[in-house]
């Protein structure tokens, strides 16, 4: 057995070199790149839609604040009279509903369409 040791050692070295350079048996699926590009496109579109939604939303809010602010400085008494109309009743519900529909249209429906494709 002792005589065989260097030979076995050399054989093991060779085997080890071969094994270490052998590719792992895991292979990615054939459609890996296609699925990946699809995922990237969906993420990009979602980000773009969200940005568009936020831009339009902040523009609308900006206009409301600008008009509200101007009206407040020009006609303080009448502005305070509007307060119950804005905070009570259906106004906040309607505003939230419009916001939700706007969000559905600009972001969610587009995302669902992308996912279907």
Partner 1 sequence: MQESNLIDQVKRGNTNAFRYIVANHQKLVAHIVSRIVLDRDEIQDVCQEVFIKVYQRINEFRGESRFSTWIASIAYHQCLNHLRKKRRLNEVNFEDDKTVDNLKTDTGPERIFENNETKRVLKSVIESLPLAYRTVITLFYLEEFSYVEIEQITGMPEGTIKSNLFRARAILKEKLMNSSLNRP
In the complex, minimum distance from the CB of residue 61 to partner 1, in angstroms, rounded to a whole number: 30
Among 3, 15, 73, 101, binds partner 1 (CB under 8 A): 15
The two three-digit tokens of residue 77, written as one number: 């008494």
Minimal CA–CA distance to 72: which of 62, 84, 82? 82
38: three-class secondary structure by DSSP:
helix
Using CB under 8 A, which residues numbered 59 to 98 contact partner 1? Answer: none
Using CB under 8 A, which residues numbered 23 to 62 contact partner 1? Answer: 23-29, 32-37, 39-41, 43-44
Among 19, 74, 87, 117, binds partner 1 (CB under 8 A): 19
Q: Who contacts 79 (Cβ-Cβ below 8 Å, separation ≥6)?
A: 68, 71, 72
Contact of 107 with 53, CB cutoff 8 Å: yes
What is the binding site for partner 1 (CB under 8 A)?
Answer: 1, 5, 8-9, 11-13, 15-17, 19-29, 32-37, 39-41, 43-44
């Amino acid at each position: 057995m002792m005589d065989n040791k260097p030979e076995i050692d050399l054989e093991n070295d060779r085997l080890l070199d071969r094994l270490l350079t052998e590719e792992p048996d895991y292979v990615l699926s054939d459609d890996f790149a296609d699925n990946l590009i699809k995922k990237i496109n969906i993420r990009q579109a979602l980000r773009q839609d969200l940005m568009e939604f936020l831009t339009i939303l902040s523009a609308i809010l900006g206009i409301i604040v600008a008009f509200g602010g101007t009206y407040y400085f020009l006609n303080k008494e009448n502005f305070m009279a509007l307060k119950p109309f804005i905070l009570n009743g259906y106004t906040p519900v309607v505003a939230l509903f419009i916001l939700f529909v706007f969000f559905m249209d600009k972001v969610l429906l587009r995302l669902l369409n992308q996912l279907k494709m």
